[in-house]
Structure 1
């Protein structure tokens, strides 16, 4: 017993030393090399080297030999993107396996390894280079963008990828009110839907109603904003505009109408279930088994090559392995059944377990930077169906009291070895318009003050002083809903709130159900993460509204009213309208403008003071990567702001052994 205790003490000391050497810093090292060349001619011009011929994976070469595929030269675009791998030219082969926490969600460790944006975020997180497009340009007034596509680029089924696919998305999906009733903020700077025009088969122009200085960021995160294109040749069979029998197809497939059917076949992200949908990613979905595991095979028409002329990707396939929970994922990594883990954050409290099993699992544990505003946050439903709870939740004193009732130090000590930075849910401190008081706002643990605020609201205790009473005499009881990732903190916070008389029951839910209950206005309170709020994301539009978007949905009826311009939902209070108005102005303001920091500061001030979202702390991101993989990152930032693995060139990863 004493021996085991001594070992535990030693391990905790080791963990403390390791974690103490890590400080949360979001600055990146200067990029030492150039990773991307838009065309082979650019590569030759800048390096003096020439790609003599193109090569392909052995499995594809065999298909060419059998006459089942065209030669690699005919599958690549006229001018493929040239990639200089982070470390070395890789080897073909292998199967990359990562966890999925549901058949349509929780699959970031595979999805963002294959995601492709119009522009590419480089590993330095600052440089943006052409990716899907060959070149691009923006007018001096930031109102017009020109995209030049890659001539000869193809979808995974060999169909040409052209401006028609952009126009199909714009005219028949994004602009179609049946398919897209609410327009994304990134498409509407100045309050009006952007205008997209086809100039020729390989040129697109996008015009905005107002200057859009952050359009480069939007294009570098285009996958998140609808991608801006879709496979017209495949999807038009499900669209009523192109097929008068689309409703008949829908009913035959079990859908109510063509809209439901189209959305099913159009889904391209983690929610994709159509295994025939063409794509332009390095691997494409080809199979879903009975357990929900997803299989992505190499795209034979992928449009990138390395500097030796090898068509990427190196790895043959991806497999999303559905796991029951986080513990199952950890065990599968240790048993070498999975190759990487980063999202659905690995709990810091298990750091000892990860480290002591590095050799057995043949992996390395890294500590990456974290740009979240708070790893865990909670939001009350401000448009609750129950008028009594709605009144309570909308009283700022209640939200202040609930923040003061959270013992963040205890959470930090128990879940993060005391190494997290305690802070409110607000943009990270590196944000140029952030002020120190924001991160400290109502974060002290003061149950006496919390109780005083609740007393001031006349939420009286029952006769046994076990729970406070609502104005209608009923016990003040709420359900705090969350997914597995956020359950440990939610459980602790529930106990803390119960101690000040707000009886709180933590309810863990599967992700899909959690999302559905938010949009249906069914929650009392919800726990999630306050991420995607770094300045990089705020500039692109919409990130400042994290409290009111999916999946937090702190006021779904108000956000619906704003998003539909009053057509549905409920009219929000003036402070909410003001918050959105400032955000809209900020979206079209250049960082060089005098108003930029003023507007940004006002956004953060309003959000912080209103405590629409209550945060706790930010800890380093634990990343685990198999030692069998090459060209993987050893340091960096792992965050939604930069789309997780996207900057780290997943199509160049390869198996060294």
Structure 2
């Protein structure tokens, strides 16, 4: 054990040498109590042999967190077995990660070199190992690129979109055992951010493990038997089933994340245990994570708020809504937890999505007239929604970037959001929609009443409550709203097929982008964008499915996406972003309602390093991930530090 003053000096020296680009001396690591018996029995090597030669040193100097102590189990809840994949997001070990101020830095990688956003050289940490002890090397990248991504037998066929530039993938090279390189003919600024995503771009896999399921490496008879035993059609289907790192559904698959799933589905409780070969340490030499086990209980999502209020979770935000806050706050003291309120990162907490690709020919033309979309937007009393549903704590807004984003401008947030029944009626009259039927409802050009069906996923009464208020407002402009709930997968398929008129859901995931983040959510390149699903499908399939954009402004957005890719530097990318955001504010492709809503976060009173104030955002952020859950730790009840933090 290193004496504390000496350890502090070593840490300072390590930071200085890293700044100068000089290899730093290794910091002596302390054996993790959880593994002590296994090490003593010879089942695991000592910690200094389990860590990379240069582990990532996590410090606590500037974020309000504090150095912790190993041990303890953390309980949380999910509503379905498949939702344990969210633990992969929460864990947030990535080749690259975002800091809390949204800058990128190496994590699993030791370092990265970028040459004009065209050539990326990735340096691994020598001695880094997978959770089963097998080496993590350049071979894991080569195998994934040559034998998975480029093997036409392994679905999905070909490189993911983030690895294509003008339809072409990169040239991949193995430089040495711990260095790989990806080179494109043109710039690919989406590459590094993709590696840091909540669901990251996959460019490597545990090759030693996966080769057992690949026809190129496995013994034929053994592979045939494995395929049969797993009930799969082919070796490729078996390989695809066994290599889903993000899904956390294969307990046998090695990982680089802080915790390893040990439970196969179906199950009512999933147990994740700490990874003995995890690559991060704290300033005292403790191998992270601090917490030994994550215990994920499966429960009906509708009762998770009640169970959290009863003290059955140490950390819970998923499945909890703002309208649960009062109940949770009242029960907090007697059940030994607190309830924090984090800001959310959606561009709009809820937004309406007119389907510009709807197959109804009349509504198709009506939706494409910007006057109609503007009229619907200013025909909504957002202040009423805020007061009635969100207790006045949110703010009226378009579906756009939030004030925390460096790209924010008030005009993006406020355009066409002021409640103005007179102006909305004028816009509809200008369109020629002047004829009215029963109940004073306007008539469509073909004589049908203007009855607008808004479809929901049926997962939240909040959406229905909001739509009821909107229905009251729209009646004043001659539009009758009907709500149609359905299951999420059914709803998505109807949207993709153009069978919906309008849907309601969360706005853009990333309302806090920087100029160096890709503006993909504002450009028609994904069928999951409910306002133009067929245009997104056309892009995703290279024109083999869907429809080619045929409106002037969406075509311009596609041009701007290409301009962003080719822009040199942050300032040039910001210019592109601002034109994209201005087009969206003016054209009202989606109708944002409110943002700035608050997310209740239930935290056990003894759980440390969970921020009192945070941003609950999917990407970037991975909900808890950006705040490094591997550094969360439990203090003992009555701990003086604990009391000081809570008072």
- TM-score if structure 2 supplies the norm length? 0.84
1:419 aligns with 2:382: no
Superposition pairs of residues 228-377 of structure 1, within 5 angstroms? 228-239=203-214, 242=217, 253-255=230-232, 257=234, 260-269=237-246, 271-288=247-264, 290=266, 292-325=268-301, 328-343=303-318, 346-377=320-351
Deviation at 1:378, TM superposition (A): 1.9
- Select 1:130's aligned residue among 106, 112, 134: 106
The residue aligned with 1:42 is 14
- Secondary structure in 1 aligned to 2:482? strand
The residue aligned with 1:200 is 176
- Select 1:95's aligned residue among 44, 52, 73: 73
- Select 1:649's aligned residue among 612, 628, 636: 628
Superposition pairs of residues 17-28 of structure 1, within 5 angstroms? none
User: Which segment is superposed worse, 597-606 or 381-390?
Assistant: 381-390
Superposition pairs of residues 426-441 of structure 1, within 5 angstroms? 426-441=400-415
Does structure 2 conserve the Cα–Cα contact (< 8 Å) formed by 1:480 and 1:507?
yes
- For residues 516 and 263 of structure 1, what CA distance do their matches in structure 2 show? 24
- Secondary structure in 2 aligned to 1:321? strand
- For residues 45 and 302 of structure 1, what CA distance do their matches in structure 2 show? 23
Q: From the superposition, tell whether residues 53 and 480 of structure 1 become closer, same or farther in structure 2 (CA, over 3 Å).
A: same
- For residues 92 and 346 of structure 2, what CA distance do their matches in structure 1 show? 21
Deviations 1:574-603 (A, max 9, x none): 53232122112113323455x434322221
Query: Unaligned stretches of 5+ in structure 1?
Result: 1-35
- For residues 579 and 247 of structure 1, what CA distance do their matches in structure 2 show? 49
1:615 aligns with 2:615: no
Does structure 2 conserve the Cα–Cα contact (< 8 Å) formed by 1:163 and 1:204?
yes
- For residues 391 and 598 of structure 1, what CA distance do their matches in structure 2 show? 32
Does structure 2 conserve the Cα–Cα contact (< 8 Å) formed by 1:117 and 1:227?
no
The residue aligned with 1:70 is 45
- Secondary structure in 1 aligned to 2:349? strand
Deviations 1:321-355 (A, max 9, x none): 333235x22222222211223455x4334433333
- For residues 625 and 519 of structure 2, what CA distance do their matches in structure 1 show? 20
Does structure 2 conserve the Cα–Cα contact (< 8 Å) formed by 1:189 and 1:208?
yes
User: Which segment is superposed worse, 602-611 or 152-161?
Assistant: 602-611
Does structure 1 conserve the Cα–Cα contact (< 8 Å) formed by 2:523 and 2:558?
no
Deviation at 1:469, TM superposition (A): 5.2
Superposition pairs of residues 568-583 of structure 1, within 5 angstroms? 568-575=545-552, 576-583=554-561
Deviation at 1:408, TM superposition (A): 1.0
1:152 aligns with 2:130: no
- For residues 205 and 332 of structure 1, what CA distance do their matches in structure 2 show? 49
- Select 2:383's aligned residue among 386, 409, 416: 409
- For residues 376 and 230 of structure 2, what CA distance do their matches in structure 1 show? 48
What RMSD, in angstroms, separates the aligned Cα atoms of the two structures?
3.6
The residue aligned with 1:556 is 533
- TM-score if structure 1 supplies the norm length? 0.82
The residue aligned with 2:370 is 396
- Secondary structure in 1 aligned to 2:575? helix
Q: From the superposition, tell whether residues 428 and 123 of structure 1 become closer, same or farther in structure 2 (CA, over 3 Å).
A: closer
- For residues 237 and 38 of structure 2, what CA distance do their matches in structure 1 show? 37
Deviation at 1:413, TM superposition (A): 0.4
- For residues 237 and 650 of structure 1, what CA distance do their matches in structure 2 show? 33
The residue aligned with 2:93 is 116
Does structure 2 conserve the Cα–Cα contact (< 8 Å) formed by 1:240 and 1:247?
no
Deviation at 1:217, TM superposition (A): 3.5
- Secondary structure in 2 aligned to 1:137? strand
- For residues 524 and 212 of structure 1, what CA distance do their matches in structure 2 show? 36
Q: From the superposition, tell whether residues 349 and 234 of structure 1 become closer, same or farther in structure 2 (CA, over 3 Å).
A: same
Q: From the superposition, tell whether residues 565 and 144 of structure 1 become closer, same or farther in structure 2 (CA, over 3 Å).
A: same
Q: From the superposition, tell whether residues 144 and 364 of structure 1 become closer, same or farther in structure 2 (CA, over 3 Å).
A: same
